[in-house]
Amino acid sequence: MSTKPSATNQDKYRPPFISLLFSGFWSLISYQLYLWGQQGEEWSTFGCLLTGFMAIGQVIKSMNDRFKRSALRLKQQRFKTGAKAHGQGRFANAQDITDSELFSDRQGIFLGTLRTGKNSSIDVFFDGPQSLSLIAPPGEGKTMSLVVPTCLANPEQNLIINDPSGEIYALCKAALEQQNYHVVVMTPFPEEVSQRLGEEVIDVGLDLFSGFDADMNLTSIRPRLLAIMTWVMPGRPDMDEKSEYFFKYARMLGGFLALKELAEGRKPTLPAIRRHLMEGLAYIRELFEQAEGSTAFGGVYEELAKSLGGLLVAAPQQFAGGYGIAEQALDVFDHFSSLGKHTAESKFDPRVLKDPHQKTALFLISTLEMMETVAPVTAMTLTYLFGTLAADKQAGRCTAIIDECGSLVMPRLATSLLFYRKANLRCLLIWQDLAGQAEKNYGKVGLRQIMSASKLKIAMGLQEPETLEMFSKLCGTQAVVDPSLSDRAAKAEPLPELTVSLNHRSLPLLRADEIRMMSGEEMLIVGGNLPPLQLQKVPYWKRPHLKERAGHSPYYHG
């Protein structure tokens, strides 16, 4: 706390020009008395000397007042300078946005509008290469205020949109096609989605092995297979050491069965791997024995069989644990199920999402009833897409808009976000909360890494105390003047002596309760090297040109 010095009796001064005016007045009187003295008026000589001394005294007083004024101004300047140590928090303005390389006024991810006057505002688009995180509970309009306007306003880059309900697809498909986008859908339930949206939806399918080439470098075969199996069996961030070993062996077993399909001239699929697992341990043991002496894939197939066969003999409980995890993870992909058919073959090469000469929008749609059941498959699909695009060398840009991010389990998302930027892939991660489901699925450390990797963090309608405190701290602090009044002589004298002192205090620019009580039409954005930014939400229907482009929502019957 810094204290502003109060003006004591020693510091009090009169404006110097007043003393100079008095000095001029007495100088004129002295001069007039001098003239009368020259005319023989003897009494004027004494008056001339007296007024002359008074004029000189006023000059001296003006100089003394000037010194006092300079000293007090210096003290006040030091007081103002000291305020900077307590905080320089402020809100971003239009000039900050113009000077920043993160924003655009016409393309990218639409954020909202910034008021620049009583009846004027500017649109703000995020066009940086980094990822964003949006935290908002249900009902805050995040989809209608950010995602839909972004798609309708022509973002000029390829899109991946996790759209569990299909509402974004229904609203934006026609507009995207008018902007020369090729719109495709991945959904395990094309019939149900078609019925819900009132139009035919064709599933392009999912092929996790699309990037796997049997003729690739032999040293890359096993790591590539294990990477694919990691997408299928990601595990959880809070696993103990025993569980990690189980997942490791489960992935090895899945990779071995995929190599068996390739060795016999078939394309590996998740339903095919599941079929082998369902034959039981005795059948798997026979496969290990059959692989002895095989030269397929330069001996990689045989080596995997020996490793797993040795584990089965030496540590049957650990093998059984890995087998159980693989069986549980692949159980939903039977040949006759929707997920089995969805992953059996694909008509879509995800690498087109990095093509700079073709605009593609890929929607991942499930159904609201099956959203929780399909969440692991959605996480697997996104991880596969991100890994494939990150390995592609094309120069096209791709934006992934991931709704319901907290319900997905992508343990590697935290470390991967830092590298996606270099691959021209950025993400808009949409969370309903950070302290509940998200923390459970990603862990505290992983969630902190994700927030650190997010260039900007956007808040709408926050209610969680921990998240409110985080945003309050990120907004910074400001210095405020705290006046105090003290009566030092109230008990000793009839008339009290009052002293006023001014102190600097450091306060948050926005307290947690102020963020909680923000208007439902506002959002708060923090991050980067910018001051906090308060923007106005703009639902797409409030812009006539966007409303004209939008389709009809199947969930709105007005």
- List per-residue pLDDT tens for the chain, 558 residues long: 444 444 455 556 678 788 888 888 888 888 787 787 777 777 777 788 888 888 888 888 888 888 877 777 766 665 555 555 555 678 888 998 888 888 887 788 999 999 988 888 899 999 888 999 999 998 898 999 999 999 998 888 899 999 999 999 999 999 999 999 999 999 999 999 999 999 999 999 999 988 776 667 777 888 888 889 998 998 887 788 888 889 999 999 999 999 999 888 888 999 999 999 999 999 999 999 999 888 888 888 899 999 999 999 999 999 999 999 999 999 999 988 899 999 988 889 999 999 999 999 999 998 877 777 788 899 999 999 998 888 888 889 999 999 989 888 887 787 778 788 888 899 999 999 888 788 888 888 888 889 998 999 999 999 999 999 999 999 888 776 666 666 655 555 555 566 666 666 677 888 999 999 998 899 999 988 889 999 999 999 999 999 999 999 888 755
- The SS3 assignment for 400 reads strand
Q: pLDDT value at position 457?
A: 95
CA distances from 450 to 387, 411, 444 (A): 17, 10, 10
Amino acid at 26: W
Q: How many helices (H) and strands (E) does the chain have?
A: 20, 15
What is the token pair recorded at 547? 């409303």
**Helices 300-314 and 281-290 sit at what angle, rounded to 10 degrees?**
140
Q: Where are the alpha helices (DSSP H) in 345-412?
A: 371-391
Of the candidates 293, 304, 214, the one whose C-alpha atom is nearest the C-alpha of residue 254 is 304
**What are the residues whose beta carbons fall under 8 Å from the beta carbon of 56, sequence distance 6 or more?**
23
What is the token pair recorded at 515? 């963020």
Cα separation of 553 and 312, whole Å? 54
Cα separation of 500 and 485, whole Å? 5
Bridge pairing between strands 121-126 and 158-162: unpaired
* Alpha carbon 377 to chain centroid, angstroms: 24
Local structure of residue 423 (DSSP, 8 states)? G
Cα separation of 302 and 290, whole Å? 9
Of the candidates 402, 393, 396, the one whose C-alpha atom is nearest the C-alpha of residue 353 is 396
User: Domain 94-200+353-475+510-549 belongs to what architecture?
Assistant: 3-Layer(aba) Sandwich (3.40)
Of the candidates 306, 314, 316, the one whose C-alpha atom is nearest the C-alpha of residue 252 is 306
pTM: 0.80
- Beta carbons of 72 and 12 less than 8 angstroms apart: no
CA distances from 152 to 282, 438, 537, 547, 549 (A): 56, 29, 16, 9, 7
CA dihedral sign of residues 190, 193, 198, 199: negative
Cα separation of 244 and 236, whole Å? 9
Q: pLDDT value at position 86?
A: 55
Rounded to 10 degrees, the C-alpha dihedral 369/372/373/377 comes to 120
Amino acid at 412: R
- The SS3 assignment for 116 reads coil
How many CB atoms within 10 Å of residue 360?
Answer: 21
Cα separation of 160 and 278, whole Å? 34
Cα separation of 104 and 135, whole Å? 22
The H or E element that residue 169 is part of is helix 167-178
- The SS3 assignment for 141 reads coil
- Beta carbons of 160 and 400 less than 8 angstroms apart: yes
The H or E element that residue 230 is part of is helix 218-232
Local structure of residue 146 (DSSP, 8 states)? I
Cα separation of 438 and 454, whole Å? 15
Burial label, 557 (beta-carbon count in 10 A; 0-12, 13-18, 19+):
exposed
Local structure of residue 530 (DSSP, 8 states)? S
End-to-end C-alpha distance for the chain, whole angstroms: 58
Amino acid at 499: T
b/e burial code for range 392-419 (CB count within 10 A of at least 16 → b): bebebbbbbbbbbbbbbbbbbbbebbee
Cα separation of 520 and 516, whole Å? 10
The H or E element that residue 325 is part of is helix 316-330
